[in-house]
Structures are given as C-alpha cells and as structure tokens.
Amino acid sequence: MFSKVLKQDGYSQSQADHTFIKHFPTGKIIVLIAYVDDIILTGNHEEEMRRLKILLSKEFQIEDLGHLRYFLGMEVARSKEGNSVSQHKYVLDLLHETGMSGCKQVETPMDPNTKLISRTEEEADKGQYQCLVGKLIYLRHTRLAISFSVGIVSQFLSNPSVDHMKVVIRILRYLKKDPGKGLKFKKTLNRSLKVYIDADWGGSPINGRSISGYCSPL
C-alpha cells in the first residue's frame, strides 16, 4: 500500500531496498527511505517535502519527528560545520553485552602481524562468534577503520577457533577507546572523493593470495 501510494505520486522505487526517489526538471531531488514503520525524508526541494508529508498524512497515520536524530542504531548530530553519524549507543550496548565495558583499550583493531588460518586448535563458541561478528559487520557503516579486520574474522564464521575469537575481542577493545567516533560529512562545495588502495604480496596464509586494503578520508 505504501509503495503504491508513492509510485502513483511519481516516485520510483530502488531495486535494492525500500528507497523511493523523485527527480525534478529543475535538478532537485527527494529521497524517502522506509524501514518497517520508520521513515527518513530528505532532499533539496522544500515545497515538495511539505506536500509529500501532507499526502502521506492523508493516507497513513504518521508523525513528523523533525530533524533526524536516531535511526536503526545510528545517531545523527547536526552543526554549522556539517552532519555527523555515529553508533555510540550501539557500541556501548555491545561492550556491555559482552562484559567489555571496563576492558583495556588498544590503539588498533588488529595486530598487523596476525595471520589467521582455518581452525586447527581449540574451537570457539560458534553461536557467540557469529553473533559478535554480525554486530561488527553492521557497525562498519560508521566505523570504517574496523572494515579490514572484520572482513578477516568474517571468513571463519562456519568454523571459528579461539584465535579467531581473540581478534574479535581485540576489535571490541579498540572500539572501547572511542565509542562515539563516527563519520562527519562537512558542508562543502567540493564533491570529489579520494580513495587510496594498496595490497601486499601473497599475504594470505590460507591460499597465498594478496590482501588488499583501502581508505577514504572524509
């Protein structure tokens, strides 16, 4: 029903998720994201946004909560410099659930000398391992620095060992260092994106393949 109303109003739906987009001849755009009963509405066409809110209020029972502050575990802070997105509470809850709230902090999410291989020693709790790695995968949305290490531990979801779990614990210790860290989108006319990438030579101890890494300064 929701999709039908928006499509009849000229919005096109993404094939990947519940995102609806409407482009205008003037170059302006409106984007609406829906997840269960939560909606984000954004764009640079103020008049259309007001009209759409009225349309949706006639068809559904909705409430305008104002500027976005919290959505699916992500916290949004607005300032004159731009917008910041973090998962501060998500990190604190994760540390609390795992009993790591008072753990010793580390400077990096993974020891660069660590070389993980398929399990050959003591087995770790598979359910706990999969749950923790799954939560870390979601956390990568705002904590890009853990992307590489989380990608490594994700390779052993089906057969985790104690050594694999130690790396997961180290990632949690790294998050403890600055749980409120996230992404900052500065107000700027510069829309260029710089990405740096590098790879080692045969760094994987499992198959001898090169391991790539990348970073994008914000």
Q: Model confidence over 40-84: pLDDT tens digits?
A: 999 999 999 999 999 999 999 999 998 999 988 899 999 988 899
pLDDT score for 170: 96
Residues 178 and 106 in one domain: yes
Residues 120 and 176 in one domain: yes
Residues 47 and 100 in one domain: no
Residue 214 has pLDDT above 90, yes or no: no
Residue 122 has pLDDT above 90, yes or no: no
Residues 152 and 203 in one domain: yes
Residues 98 and 53 in one domain: no
Residue 25 lies inside a defined structural domain of this protein: yes
- Own/partner long-range contacts of 39-46 (Cβ < 8 Å, ≥24 apart): 40/68, 40/71, 42/68
Residues 153 and 93 in one domain: yes
* Number of domains present in the structure of the chain: 2
Tokens 């302006």 appear where? 28
Domain of residue 18 covers 2-66
Whole-number mean pLDDT of the chain?
A: 90
Residues 163 and 122 in one domain: yes
Q: Mean of the pLDDT values across residues 29-40?
A: 92
Strand partners for 31: 21, 42
Residue 211 has pLDDT above 80, yes or no: no
pTM: 0.80
Residues 139 and 170 in one domain: yes
Q: Mean of the pLDDT values across residues 161-184?
A: 94
Residue 77 lies inside a defined structural domain of this protein: no
Task: Quote the tokens at residue 140.
Answer: 């990568």
